[in-house]
Amino acid sequence: MARKQSLPTRAENFSEWYNQLVAQSWLAQTSEVRGCMVIKPYGFALWENIRDRLDQMFKVTGHSNAYFPLLIPKSYLSQEADHVEWFAKECAVVTHYRLKTSGDGQGVEVDPDAKLEEELIIRPTSETIIWRTYRDRIQSHRDLPILVNQWANVMRWEMRTRMFLRTSEFLWQEGHTAHATADEAIHEARQMLDVYQDVMENFLAISGIPGHKSPGERFAGAEDTLTIEAMMQDGKALQSCTSHFLGQNFAKAFDVTYTTADNQKEYVWATSWGMSTRIIGGLIMSHSDDKGLVLPPAIAPVHVVIVPIFKTPEELAALHAALDDQLWKLSLHIDSERLGDVDIPLVIQWDEDDSKSFGWKMTDHELRGVPVTLAVGARDVESGSVQLVIRDQEDKQTTTIDQLGTAIVDQLGRMQVRLFATSKTRREDNTVSVDTREDFIAALDADQFVLAHWDGTVETEEAIQELTKATIRCIPFDQVQEDGVCIHTGKPSQGRVIFARSY
């Protein structure tokens, strides 16, 4: 196998570094279909681990999985005005259901006689078809709440794409819940954002700012959108997830009502919430370095790779005999606020491929972000000690073979904590408060998150974006109420919001 090309450095070209890293670490590749990607087994293993963590937490909080159709009647999308306006330019439309052989016999063409009576939209999101389904399911207050999640793919016809961060087709989960009261729905939306924050901090080791989206950035059809905004290594913001309080907008659009305990008709209150494969892009850009991926142990597909140094099958067998007992039944313990105590069984691999050089193998495991790598030969067994290569550390760690298992688990735990601390420190050190337009633009040009006053209008949001290409990322939950003047218009403001440039 040919050696991979050297990665560009982050300082030279962050965008190209990211693109090359995704490709060379075998996470994904571009597809023949414009804007789509092929997620390779190593990349999909990352998504599976994220999916499994989320799915467990969804079930702990009382949710069940279901599945809804990929194709949505076009008339459904038009029933909620803000929704159709938001998604209209991104929709892929199915107009026919059959092909036929072309006249010259050299290909196929659309059969004009197979035109659909109603065109179908490949789902960009599922609120419309789900709420049409809920109309038949919900009759009484006894039918509520409905707490449903689906794991699915969606299609949004993006013009400018980048693997994981923005693709025309992507994988995600989307929760859709129905409630009897506004308070229940508001609590649900916040609870699910807390779930996402727990996964981000405890498993992905990414620190973000939770808050409300501004009216200009709010999801179409929502009364409130909650988000967690994370800072990548280049200073740009990544919207990591969203959770929406939909009010009664979709219930009214699809006439979803229930009979209360005192026999009154009421519209249902709703939420929706989601996290997608975009978070893998955030994982890469939060932790990785110029040598390759750096993956938090809690979410890594492979935790430990052992590279044996041997010449004969007997030598290899002796190395297994010396180490395997120490590696049996190892697990990484995570103390998760939402899940409590979590033990993640460690995935440990022996790289016994003798078709590649020792140096190639060590470099490859470094590129793929394996948290712990160790090379071991007969001399190490004789001395009773080995050296651990910890992916995010320059210095090797020496341990005795009889303490190998304990040392590995300890180093993995330390790495998990270290990566989150680095992510948090980066964000805190590069978040500044400013009061003048000059300082505002200078902070953005320095790749920082900017806390600045805003007059609360969509018009000002749009003007600032036009001027600086920065948007309001969120109104933080911990926003301090203080009198000030808008950074752009000079009008009164009661608090600062987070501005940043983003993906």
Among 97-111, 262-276, 288-302, the minimum mean pLDDT is found in: 97-111
Q: What is the pLDDT of residue 503?
A: 87
- Residue 438, both tokens: 């000059």
Q: Any idea what DSSP says for residue 126?
A: S
Sequence-separated (6 or more) residues with CB below 8 Å from residue 42: 25, 26, 27, 301, 368
Helices 41-60 and 182-202, axial angle in degrees (round to 10): 140
Nearest partner of 334 among 325, 345, 326, judged by Cα = 345
Q: What is the pLDDT of residue 1?
A: 44
With beta carbons less than 8 A apart as the criterion, state whether 20 and 291 touch.
no
Phi-psi bin for 329: left (phi > 0), alpha (psi -120 to 50), beta? left
Q: What is the pLDDT of residue 390?
A: 98
Q: How far is CA 454 from CA 351, 445, 487, in A?
A: 56, 19, 6
Please tell me the total number of residues recorded for the chain in this structure: 503
Task: Kindly report the number of other CB atoms within 10 A of residue 471's CB atom.
Answer: 21
Q: Give the Cα separation of 111 and 109 in Å (integer).
A: 6
Sequence-separated (6 or more) residues with CB below 8 Å from residue 454: 214, 460, 461, 464, 472, 486, 487, 488, 493, 496, 497
Q: Give the Cα separation of 355 and 374 in Å (integer).
A: 19
Nearest partner of 65 among 167, 154, 145, 173, judged by Cα = 173
Q: Any idea what DSSP says for residue 73?
A: E
- Give backbone dihedrals phi and psi of 156, rounded to 5 degrees, phi first: -135, 115
Among 4-8, 169-173, 309-313, 386-390, the minimum mean pLDDT is found in: 4-8
Average confidence score pLDDT of the chain: 95
- β-strand 108-110 against 99-101: which pairing, if any? antiparallel
Q: Give the Cα separation of 163 and 73 in Å (integer).
A: 29
Q: Give the Cα separation of 306 and 372 in Å (integer).
A: 9
Residue owning tokens 């001399």 = 379
Kindly compute the dihedral angle of the four CA atoms of residues 376, 380, 386, 391, in this order, to the nearest 10 degrees. -30
With beta carbons less than 8 A apart as the criterion, state whether 345 and 300 touch.
no
Average pLDDT over every residue of 480-498: 96
Q: How far does the chain reach from its first CA to its final CA, in angstroms? A: 34
pLDDT digits (tens, 9 = 90+) for 194-227: 999 999 999 999 999 999 999 999 998 899 999 9
What does the angle CA 499 – CA 502 – CA 503 come to, to the nearest 5 degrees? 165
Sequence-separated (6 or more) residues with CB below 8 Å from residue 116: 94, 95, 96, 97
Q: What is the pLDDT of residue 55?
A: 98
pLDDT digits (tens, 9 = 90+) for 15-56: 999 999 999 999 999 999 988 999 999 999 999 999 999 999
Q: Which domains are assigned to the chain?
A: 26-90+125-287 (3.30.930.10), 304-416 (3.40.50.800), 433-500 (3.30.110.30)
Residue 449, pLDDT > 60, answer yes
With beta carbons less than 8 A apart as the criterion, state whether 206 and 230 touch.
yes
Give the pLDDT band (50/70/90) at residue 4. low
Average pLDDT over every residue of 461-472: 97
Residue 97, pLDDT > 80, answer yes
Q: What is the pLDDT of residue 2?
A: 47
Q: Which residues of 288-301 are buried (b: 16+ CB within 10 A; e: fewer)?
A: bbeebbbbbbbbbb
Q: Give the Cα separation of 72 and 76 in Å (integer).
A: 7
Q: How far is CA 390 from CA 281, 406, 413, in A?
A: 22, 14, 11
Average pLDDT over every residue of 357-369: 96
Q: Give the Cα separation of 383 and 388 in Å (integer).
A: 15
Q: Give the Cα separation of 334 and 119 in Å (integer).
A: 49
